[in-house]
Amino acid sequence: MRIALAVLRRDRRSQVATVLVALGVMIAVSLVLWLLAAPNGLQARADRTAWRDVHTNAGGKGTISVAMTRDSYRGLVIERWDVARNEPGDVPVARGIARFPEAGEVLLSPALADLVRAAPAENLGNRFPGTVIAELGPEALKYEGELVAIVGNDAVSNGDETTGLANTYATYTDDYKGLLYLLTRVGLVVLVVPCLVLVASAARLTAAKRERRLAALRLAGASPRQVIVMTAIETAVGAVVGSALGVVLAQPFSHVTAKIPWEGGTWYPGDFVPDPAVTTAVAVLAPVLVVAAAIMGLRRVVKQPLVAEQKRKVRSWRLLMIAGAIGVFFLGITYAQQGGGGDRFTVVLTGLGAVALALVLAGPVVTAWVGRFFVGRWRRPSTLLAGRRLSGDPVAAFRGSAGVVIAVFTGSMALTMLPGLESTVPGRDTTWRSDAIVAEQVGVDVTPLRLVTSAPIVTMLDGGLGNGDPDHYGYSVVVGKCADVARVMELKCADGPAVYAPTTLQWNHFRASSRDGEIRAQLPAQYETRPFTPTGRVEAVIDPELLPSVQGAVSLVGVPTTPENREAVHTAMIRALPGAPLSDEARGLRGDTLTEDLRRATVIGLSIAAVLGGIGAAVAAAGSVIDRRRTFGALIAAGTPIRVLAHALRREVVLPVFAVTIAACAAGIVVGLGLLSLARGLMGGEDLPLTPWVAAPVGVGVLVALVAALACGPVLRGISPRDYAAE
């Protein structure tokens, strides 16, 4: 112990290594705590909004009826909950909800209440008829500034029956059908590996010098236990300090993270706080792992001190680990697609972590191949020096590239998944004109709407065409007068009844649902077909004269608007057609929000991976110079220009990165396609071709490695050839 502490007091290079170990552990601990706090933040939101999860009673009539619709106002999404009492008695409500609103009573979130007070009543306030009895507390909202309304009614059509607004069980693992749960765990796995690489790079900063010193002590009579204790003390000093600093840094870091938007708003400050037990476990486990890794590296020193400086050989069988890890990953994909519950992703995440670690373990094999290639084909001395280093000690040479390789793997995987994930997000309804508002599933008389607005009103009936088989009515059509439908849809009309479709219809059996029940009809044997280019879900428009038995039936109501009257028309439709969802911008706004969230999360994750990889590469590159300080000093004393050595060091870093990142990019694409197939199974969506951007991380990885290699320069210039001139 005294020898170890004396080394730390007097050896400058050991002090630098200890400081870098502390910084590496600090970054890793704070980042891991942040990643582990993300599920807590999501669960905190789920707990606050558990009252929105309406569970229909299977045994009969519920205490209340609830219907949820999404509304919009000037580009903002409003979540509206219409409720009605079915029977007398107390209705349980969640925290943040003052009491159950009776008919004619309204509860608004603070942000929505401010909007209602500031906007004209005909534009917004009239959408929530009644007396505002209270404002929703933060315990019932996802985030500060969320727009939510609970409106009491005499009755709610198309509502679900339940016992109250106080569901006490919630889990974010069900959000987006489990997609959010999967993505948070994937991010945790792919970012923890670069953290481990960074800590390992810092811990190995002066490994060669330490091995020589400990080997000499072993030859002088030190016992294996004494050697292990000395190493543990040297490493533990920096690791413990770094772990403590990481825990302290995690607290302000969580407040910064709370400012990152998700689902339309930021977080409450207390959301991103990890559990105390998790914090303690990470703070203790990080130094233990660092010390254990340092001790594991002493096996040769302890057993055979005379061969401590011999270079370790690598075997080609390491490459088989990548194939095995990918096999485990796709086994997990198959299990997750067939299984249920949150644990179905365990094998997937295990396989994902195994692929990342397999790339790190297989990297030295490729590094040795690259070194041998350039040794046989060198043209410049710097290339020869780099090739000899790569082929002679591929494990140490690849250590600086490991973090960059994982960053490239993560980037290729993310860029493979992102376009496919965006296709699963609900987008804007392009069926209707952008200036039109259309109410769907209309179940009431539209006469009240004509009384409250002077805008033209278009009534339509949507349904499907089929061949008469009850299971084959998949061709979506709208029945309505062409001149009227053209007000809300891109359609060119002509005189006389006709069917507007891209081609002649193959089926003639029509089926639809209205407030009066199911409607069936059949097209005549002969009719005129006119050209129509669908822009959304509607594939054909039929004049009602061709289906006389359905005239008067209504399930769609559309109104063309102007920028001046849009919000007033919107409000009038909500008042006159309660419970009918509007196919306006709310759906598109929510889809835009989710798309921005996915892109933001991708950028943040890739940035963190790139920074960690670059720092790890810089630390390892600087460490390689420190480990070979005597060799470089002798070369400089013998007349080798520093410029040649600097070029050689840059090639040592860049050459293996360029070779291994190609394999990492391919593995990232394969893993990304597997995760994308699982996500499409959860959310739906169409297959999308790969884009050239999936290969971009290779170029970025080489650039990051080149920048990190510049860290060798100051260390190399600090070597004095006078110390080694006698050799």
Q: What is the mean pLDDT of residues 502-529?
A: 85
Whether residue 272 is predicted with pLDDT greater than 60 in this model: the reply is yes
Model confidence band, residue 518 (pLDDT cutoffs 50, 70, 90): confident
Q: What is the mean pLDDT of residues 117-125?
A: 92
pLDDT of residue 58: 42
Mean pLDDT of the chain: 82
pLDDT of residue 140: 92
pLDDT of residue 302: 67
Per-residue pLDDT tens digits for 462-488: 999 988 777 667 789 999 999 999 999
pLDDT of residue 642: 84
| SS3 label, residue 618 | helix
Q: Of 234-248, 572-586, 689-703, 712-726, where does mean pLDDT reach its minimum?
A: 712-726
Whether residue 101 is predicted with pLDDT greater than 60 in this model: the reply is yes
pLDDT of residue 614: 83
Q: Of 50-59, 289-298, 507-516, where does mean pLDDT reach its minimum?
A: 50-59
The two three-digit tokens of residue 444, written as one number: 């009431």
Q: Which of 381, 324, 281, 311 is nearest to 647 (CA)?
A: 381
**105: CB partners within 8 A, 6+ apart:** 130, 131, 133, 152
Sequence ranges of the domains in the chain? 1-49+175-310, 55-169, 314-427+594-727, 436-582
Whether residue 28 is predicted with pLDDT greater than 90 in this model: the reply is no
pLDDT of residue 57: 47
Model confidence band, residue 168 (pLDDT cutoffs 50, 70, 90): low
pLDDT of residue 118: 93
Q: Of 412-426, 427-441, 576-590, 606-620, where does mean pLDDT reach its minimum?
A: 576-590
Whether residue 537 is predicted with pLDDT greater than 90 in this model: the reply is no
E strand spans, 156-254: 160-162
Burial (CB count within 10 angstroms: exposed 0-12, middle 13-18, buried 19+), residue 727: exposed
pLDDT of residue 345: 77
pLDDT of residue 546: 92
Q: Of 338-347, 375-384, 448-457, where does mean pLDDT reach its minimum?
A: 338-347
pLDDT of residue 44: 86
**376: CB partners within 8 A, 6+ apart:** none
Q: What is the mean pLDDT of residues 525-549?
A: 91
Whether residue 215 is predicted with pLDDT greater than 90 in this model: the reply is no
Whether residue 698 is predicted with pLDDT greater than 80 in this model: the reply is yes
CA distance 484 to 698: 55
- For the whole model, what pTM was predicted? 0.77
Task: Tell me which of 458 and 294 has the higher pLDDT.
Answer: 458
pLDDT of residue 725: 57
Whether residue 76 is predicted with pLDDT greater than 70 in this model: the reply is yes
Is residue 250 a contact partner of residue 279, using CB atoms and an 8 Å limit? yes
Q: Which of 687, 419, 425, 428 is nearest to 537 (CA)?
A: 428
Model confidence band, residue 208 (pLDDT cutoffs 50, 70, 90): low
Q: For residue 447, count other CB atoms closer than 10 A to its CB.
A: 9
Proportion of the chain above pLDDT 70, given as a percent: 87
Whether residue 659 is predicted with pLDDT greater than 90 in this model: the reply is no
pLDDT of residue 60: 47
Give just the sign of the alpha carbon dihedral 701, 706, 710, 715.
positive
Q: What is the mean pLDDT of residues 330-341?
A: 78
Task: Tell me which of 700 and 177 has the higher pLDDT.
Answer: 700
The two three-digit tokens of residue 698, written as one number: 């290779």
- Eight-state DSSP code of residue 90: -
Per-residue pLDDT tens digits for 216-243: 777 788 877 887 788 788 888 888 999 9
Whether residue 579 is predicted with pLDDT greater than 80 in this model: the reply is no
The two three-digit tokens of residue 414, written as one number: 């993310």
Whether residue 174 is predicted with pLDDT greater than 60 in this model: the reply is no
Per-residue pLDDT tens digits for 46-72: 888 888 877 544 444 568 888 888 888
The two three-digit tokens of residue 612, written as one number: 């960690």
Q: What is the mean pLDDT of residues 162-177?
A: 68
Q: What share of the chain is helix, strand, coil (3-state, %, to 5)?
A: 60, 10, 30
